[in-house]
Chains A and B, each alone.
Chain A
Amino acid sequence: MHWLALLLIVPLWAGAASMELRRFDDPAKQERYEELIKELRCLVCQNQALSDSDADLAKDLRDEVYRIIQSGKTDQEAVDFLVSRYGDFVLYRPPFKPLTLFLWGGPLLLLLIGAAVLWRQWRGHRAAAAPVALSEADKQRLQQLRAQTDRIDEDQP
């Protein structure tokens, strides 16, 4: 029975391990801090945000973000502090710049290509479905052919 208790307690303890108690002099700062650390990536466990990483480095970086926000600086300054040291990698939302143009524009580009292909196909169908105008020579040839097939039908016993 006590192993069950242990199972129940482990998640609680794991969740508590990564969150330090932080004192802010202003609830708005606390909110900004908590949003920020969700937006920033830990470099050690790369699929975790700073907010839920237990890595030692993540704790250091949370300390820095706390220090910056608490001292009254802007979110951007906190982000710049980390980006200048660790590069764009710390951002879950990659910045919009020449290097990432294809990353941002790629999906839209593919959508446009798809739309162009569809439109061309649709136009082709319309053109194919439209009645064909016959020239005078064509009409005469058609009549000849019809007359021939009629004769063949009459020859059938």
Chain B
Amino acid sequence: MVARLVPLAIFVILVVFLGIGLTLDPREVPSPFIGKPAPPFSLPQVADAAKTLSVADLKGRVSLVNVWASWCVSCRQEHPVLLDLAKRGIVPIYGLNYKDEREAAQQWLSRFGDPYAASAFDPDGKTGLDWGVYGVPETFVIDKQGVIRHKHTGPVTPQALAEDILPLVARLQQEVAQ
């Protein structure tokens, strides 16, 4: 009797695995940087080439790093969400302006609003490459030690903010900076 149920059991196990497979997003590539220090960079800022933004500026408090570009369509979509978040003043957002032109980036910010504490200017995408960026937008959550704790691929939605990003930020802000 038990032996006759074996094929059914195998089938059920297969269905479970395939079911899990269907819920996964194949476009989502897990970042190897989770739990690792943010890769070092030191770049001129978008607004003012004389000022720099570097990885040292990300230490001491929890922050978001948002990879964006004026040519990126999905960035327009997430932009209001970021503006709203910046207004609430919960967590500073730093921009990484990826493979863009300074003029175009500055115009974009003055036209749609600037949610960033500062934006680093990365015209050749070298820093983006070091951060494992494979599409724009991407958003990283950085803890007080400057360690990457989470990466959100694609536009930040109010749902992603409420369910993943902000709870994590709140948890990380509770941590004691060393």
Contact = CB atoms under 8 A, between A and B. Distances in A.
Interface of A: 43-44, 46, 56-57, 60-61, 64, 83-87, 89
A46 B32 contact: no
21 contacts: A43-B29, A43-B134, A43-B135, A44-B134, A44-B135, A57-B134, A57-B135, A61-B129, A64-B129, A83-B32, A84-B32, A85-B32, A85-B130, A85-B132, A86-B29, A86-B32, A86-B132, A87-B29, A87-B32, A87-B132, A89-B30
A60 B32 contact: no
Interface SS of A by simple majority: helix
Interface SS of B by simple majority: loop
B interface residue count range (under 10 / 10 to 19 / 20 to 34 / 35 or more) = 10 to 19
B131 to A, nearest CB: 8
Contacts of A60: 125, 129
A86 B131 CA distance: 9
B171 interface: no
Interface in B80-134: 99, 125, 129-132, 134
Given A57-B135, A61-B129, 11 more contacts: A43-B29, A44-B135, A46-B26, A60-B129, A85-B129, A85-B130, A85-B132, A86-B29, A86-B134, A87-B29, A87-B30
Give the most central of B30, B99, B125, B132: most A CB within 10 Å. B132
Interface string B122-153: 00010001111011000000000000000000
Nearest to A56: B99
B52 interface: no
A89 B19 CA distance: 22
Contacts of B129: 60-61, 64, 85
A61 B134 CA distance: 10
